[in-house]
Amino acid sequence: MAAITTLVTEQDVMIRHGRSRLGAILIGGIVLVFVLAACGAARPIAPTPEPLSGTYTASGGGGALPAVQALTARFKELNPGVNWIVSESGSNAAIKLLLSNTIDVGFVSRALTDAEKQTVTPIPIGFAGTAVIVNPANPLKNLTRDQLRQIYTGDAKTWADLGWTEPTIRPYIREKNAATRQTFEAYLFAGSVVTYGKSVAEQMESEAMFAAVNSFRGAIGIASTGSRTASDTRVKTIQIDGITGTQENIASGTYPIVRPLAVIYSNTAELKPAIRAFFDFVKSAEGQRIAAGAF
């Protein structure tokens, strides 16, 4: 009887030992699964985004040019692989170039028409003004709207009529589609028929305007406000209705000739990754600060 009892006891021990080993194996396996899951071994690794690169073009109205130059320069600092070719072509031309996929980014220095809003979307970057510029020899510091209207309709033919001894007034205006001219006309003629005097001559782009006004003592013309115009020693900016075209006066609406600025993109074109990232940057707080400080 003792031998039988001993045999049963040994078998019982072996069975219990086997169960313990099986339990340990099962528990170890479960723990291993949890450890692997916690370490993320079963999770696929996301690829690292490719850095933005390439050469891109931006073109448009001269009033928005300083802001766009500042924005593209900062974007390149943040993305060294990106290069920009930025040029001035006019607001109307920018829309045409954008819709024909000739450029990547357009910019305008005037409000879009309802028809244009059907084809392009604007991202505001501030405001610009239209300045009245004269030859540096002109001693006058201010002209009223009525005086400007007399000059550009041809009613005033000599500066002697306006407080200066110079005998001849030579007025210049920008080309018909220029945003500076459109906003100037809206201010000067206030909805009435636009009628220029026979002596008014057109100049294409800002550089030609500066050169023309500088070439004749009695010259007067228009240009975008901002540091580019203010720092050009070939011309002198004068007040309009006693108000200087500073950025503060433009932003507050005190200055009488103001127009909105924006970068634009086509409503139908698929944006390249770098261009989409650029527009996101323009909308950001940093981008808006850079645009506002560019003038």
DSSP calls for 275-289: HHHHHHHHHSHHHHH
Output the pLDDT for position 1.
44
- pLDDT score recorded for residue 47: 58
Q: Which pTM does this prediction carry? A: 0.74
Question: What's the average model confidence in pLDDT over 128-153?
Answer: 96
pLDDT at 250 over 80: yes
φ and ψ at residue 286, rounded to 5 degrees: -65, -45
Residues 6+ apart with CB under 8 A from 240: 132, 142, 143, 144, 145, 148, 255, 256, 257
Mean pLDDT to the nearest integer, 1-20 = 44
Instruction: Give the model's pLDDT for residue 24.
Output: 45
- Say which residues have a Cβ less than 8 Å from residue 119's Cβ, sequence separation at least 6: 95, 99, 266, 267, 268
227 pLDDT band (50/70/90 cuts)?
confident
pLDDT class of 33 with cuts at 50, 70, 90: very low
**pLDDT for 133 beyond 90:** yes
Longest Cα–Cα distance in the chain = 145
Percentage of the chain with pLDDT > 70? 83
In this structure, are residues 25 and 60 in contact, taking their beta carbons and an 8 Å threshold?
Answer: no
Residue 27 has pLDDT above 70, yes or no: no
Q: Which amino acid is at 92?
A: N
**Mean pLDDT score of the chain, rounded to an integer?**
87
Q: Which of 90, 61, 60, 54 is nearest to 75 (CA)?
A: 54
Q: List phi, psi (to 5°) of 234.
A: -75, -15
Residues 6+ apart with CB under 8 A from 188: 145, 148, 149, 152
Residue where the block lists tokens 């802001």: 67
Mean pLDDT on 10-17: 45
- Burial label for 140, CB within 10 Å (0-12, 13-18, 19+), is middle
CA 162, CA 180: separation in Å to the nearest integer? 24
Give just the sign of the alpha carbon dihedral 186, 189, 190, 194: negative
Contact 121, 264 (CB under 8 A): yes
Question: For 34-54, what is each residue's pLDDT tens digit?
Answer: 444 445 544 556 556 679 999
Separation between Cα atoms, residue 148 and residue 139, nearest integer Å: 16
- The CA distance from 58 to 177, in Å, is 19
Residue 114: burial class (beta carbons within 10 Å; 0-12, 13-18, 19+): exposed
Among 26-40, 111-125, 178-192, 230-244, whose mean pLDDT is lowest? Answer: 26-40
Tens digit of pLDDT for each residue in 256-291? 999 999 999 999 999 999 999 999 999 999 999 999
User: 220: pLDDT confidence band, cut at 50, 70 and 90?
Assistant: very high
pLDDT tens digits, 56-95: 999 999 889 999 999 999 999 999 999 999 999 989 999 9
Q: Which of 155, 267, 173, 165 is nearest to 222 (CA)?
A: 173
When pLDDT is averaged across residues 194-200 and rounded to a whole number, the result is: 95
Which phi and psi angles does 197 have, rounded to 5°?
A: -70, 165
Q: Give pLDDT, residue 62.
A: 87
Q: β-strands 219-224, 120-134: how paired?
A: antiparallel
Q: What is the mean pLDDT of residues 147-160?
A: 96
Question: What is the per-residue pLDDT for 13?
Answer: 41
Give the per-residue pLDDT at 50: 78
- pLDDT score of 141 more than 90: yes
Name the band, by pLDDT with cuts 50, 70 and 90, for residue 255: very high
Confidence category of residue 5, pLDDT binned at 50, 70, 90: very low
Handedness of CA 14, 20, 26, 28 (dihedral sign): negative
